[in-house]
Structure 1
Amino acid sequence: MSSYYIRNEKKYKKRRALITVISVFGIIAIAMGVYLFMNKGETTATSPTDSTKPTVAQTDTSPTTPTSSEHSAAAASTSTSVTSLNGVNTKDHGFLPNIGSVKKSGKMDGLRKLITDYTSRLSGKYGVTFIDLATGEMVNVNDTDRYIAASTSKLPINVLLYKYVEAGKVNLNDMLTYQKEDVEPGTGIIQQSPFGTQYSVRETSKLSIRKSDNCGVNMIIRLLDIQNVRQYLVDLGGKVYYDNRHRSCPYDMALVAQDLYKHYLKNEDVYGELINNLENTDWHDRIDAQLTGVKVAHKIGNQVKTANDVGIVFASHPYVLSIMTDNVDFVAACKNEATLSKKIYDYVESYAAQDQLQN
């Protein structure tokens, strides 16, 4: 082999090696460019989705304190009736705080003493549960003893009914037929109707609250099934099982009223109708008797030697008050409950006003 050929072969090898190196670096550069371009596109596409995640979490979680960016995302996603994560602006009651969204007052020992001192001097037995819905604080006096529920039981029955309405299981415009099995003497006007008379679910519910209609509530029970009502009370954490003896306690009824308040804040369009009926009953001789100008959504219960009342008082700090009695003089008990209710209202307004001054 000639030396000329060998020299040229070496020269070509060097050229081929150089071309190979340049090609490899070129391929690497192109690959990196493609990777960076694709990664940039992916980041741009996913950023809006990631930024909405705090919104979903904050919609249903009121106790959590959000960061500033989370608060902005939540505010953008909530309905126009929600002013902040601390509460809701309602059409009929103005701003209402979420349960437990306000700093605890630390005044519950004084309120417990007020209730105990007053009720201990009365004849008969009084059970009381109080819940400050703004702070979440609770006071209980004789609260889990068994009492005759009487017509306070119409409150959980109707709250469950409206839960079914919200879930689409029941339509308020559906018709219910008054039947012989629904007959129950006492309060109400449906008992004056002939069997076969039809009432809408909406009208039946309204009568069972405003007129405390016994036949009407039996028609609703037939629609819901009493076992579902009992299970609802169990699921809330009730202490007294609502069996055929129709017994309950102030604590259990207070849980129902608190549950109604919670759902009213979430869906005023549905639960506002029930709240309105509770504010416009035929009875104003107990919790709301001395609360002039204050809206009270409540349900009474009357029985021999029993005078009950449970409801939501829309005070500066909205609160639940549940009072049940045993072995009392009915007329005297109604007056006593009105007096106790006013004492509690004044006490709450006093510490609520102090909170406002401090803030």
Structure 2
Amino acid sequence: MANKKSLLSLMLAALLLLCSCARHIPVSVPDGSKTPSQALEDNNGHKDSVPDSENPPPGSIEPDSENPPSDKKEPDSPHGEEGSSYEAYPAADGDNGDEKNTPPEAESPASQTPEPPDKPQPDTEPLEDISGFSMPEEFFLRLDELLSGYLVNPHCEPDKTPCGCQPELAVDNGDGTVTKDRIVSIYFEDLETKYSFEINPGVHYPVASTVKMPFITLAYQMLEDGRLSPDTVLTYERRHYFGGTGVIVQGDFGQQYTVAQLLTLAITRSDNVAYEMLKDVVSMDEMFDSLRQRGVSHPEDLRKSKQKICLQSAEAYSHILNDYIASDGEYVSLYRQDLLNTRLRLICSSYPVLRKYGWTGFSLHDIAIVEAPHPYILIILTNLDEGTKQDIGLFESISLLVEEYSQSRGEG
């Protein structure tokens, strides 16, 4: 009996020792990873650092579509001010204000990208199909493979925090490198059948120079209506100053340009000062009203300062342009020629491409109408503002894949 009691005591002591050790077993975390609690602390404690103006540092070089980048391009600092997070916040008083003249130092470019997920599935949302035409399953499988190869997150959920998908969040690793999510949103619409699909529709990015597309289109509509004359002369004043891309900013105050000249510069050279000068005769409020009529409902996409863009607003931009280009307006031919001759060409095709691109902090976008035998709209919005060969290659790869399948219907 005594032996049994002794054995029982030994077993109880061993059990207590085991429980005590279990409380001190370390959590195994993969190299470079963090526990969920560490990740949450980092997210809550991290303060986004995003420029409040699109002006690049002095001496930056405007990209030239005729000379592809050797490794990395400088942003063209297109127009449209950027904010610091996805969440909407009140616009600053006035239109742009002094923010555009005092740009902070640019962030260090990202040199690291996250590991690719295991075969991500694109968050595609096929929309209306009135004719039976649609992209085949093979197209989406190839698109999935393409995005995975470029380390792109194809199923972003920006409403979740932390969501692993924040286009304006860059993390300084403390060793001279910066890591951020690589995010792309895609919209395709066949203009004959109205079939369309979209990927990552809920992500908002800084609008950059894409806003010039609906604005300049409105100006041409005003020319058609007789509310604006192409021969009206405007003078470059100090209040119009905006650095970055363009021709006018390189000269002195007091230069004079006609409305027609400013319209061409705003598209072909993405001239920021031309855009500012045209605001004297073209109403921003009227432009926003036209966007609301097209279904744009996000407040951050409808403000004069720190404006954003998502697929909903980009789609509206493209439809406003397409409706005007398809009209028999007197100035359509002139506008079309400018849209064919922009300095930077991201979306590519074997056919004519009417486009407006945008490039600034946390954004590199292209909105295009492709005049193919089966014409279509293609929109690619990204936060890939480094403009590396890889980033430019992503636009090209998506473009050519879309062209291949959109034009090969009925074959095979």
TM-score bracket relative to the smaller structure: 0.5 to 0.7
Q: Note the 1:266-277 alignment, pairs <5 A.
A: 266-277=327-338
Q: Give SS of 2:246's match.
A: coil
Residue in structure 1 matching 2:347, options 268, 271, 287: 287
Find the aligned partners of 1:104 and 1:271 in 2 and give their Cα distance.
32
Letter in 1 for 2:313: D
Residue in structure 2 matching 1:139, options 169, 173, 197: 197
Unaligned runs of 5+ in 2: 1-127, 153-181
Q: Note the 1:314-329 alignment, pairs <5 A.
A: 314-326=371-383, 329=386
User: Shift in Å at residue 210 of structure 1?
Assistant: 0.3
Q: Which moved more, 1:265-274 or 1:217-226?
A: 265-274
Kept in 1, the 8 Å contact 2:355–2:366? The answer is yes
Q: Give SS of 2:330's match.
A: helix
- Tell me the alpha carbon deviations over residues 161-193 of structure 1, each in whole angstroms, 9 at most, x when there is no partner: 111112211111211221111111000011123
Max radius of gyration: which structure? 1
Kept in 2, the 8 Å contact 1:116–1:141? The answer is no
Q: Which moved more, 1:260-269 or 1:200-209?
A: 260-269
Kept in 1, the 8 Å contact 2:187–2:198? The answer is yes
Letter in 1 for 2:146: Y
User: Shift in Å at residue 129 of structure 1?
Assistant: 1.0
1:253 aligns with 2:314: yes
Q: Hey, what does 2:402 align to over in structure 1?
A: 344
Kept in 2, the 8 Å contact 1:115–1:141? The answer is no
Using a 3 Å threshold, how does the CA distance of structure 1 residues 263 and 183 change in structure 2: closer, same or farther?
same
Using a 3 Å threshold, how does the CA distance of structure 1 residues 179 and 137 change in structure 2: closer, same or farther?
same
Residue in structure 2 matching 1:219, options 255, 277, 287: 277
Unaligned runs of 5+ in 1: 1-99
Find the aligned partners of 2:136 and 2:218 in 1 and give their Cα distance.
30
Alignment RMSD, CA only? 2.3
Instruction: Pick 1 or 2: higher relative contact order, CA cutoff 8 A, min separation 6.
Output: 2
Q: Hey, what does 2:359 align to over in structure 1?
A: 302
User: Shift in Å at residue 140 of structure 1?
Assistant: 0.9
The structure with the largest helix share of the pair is 1
Letter in 1 for 2:383: D
- Tell me the alpha carbon deviations over residues 232-285 of structure 1, each in whole angstroms, 9 at most, x when there is no partner: 22121124323211211133222222222222222253222212101011112x
Q: Give SS of 1:350's match.
A: coil
Letter in 1 for 2:192: A
Q: What TM-score, normalized by structure 1, do the two folds share?
A: 0.65
1:118 aligns with 2:175: no
Kept in 2, the 8 Å contact 1:131–1:139? The answer is yes
Number of residues paired by the alignment?
A: 251
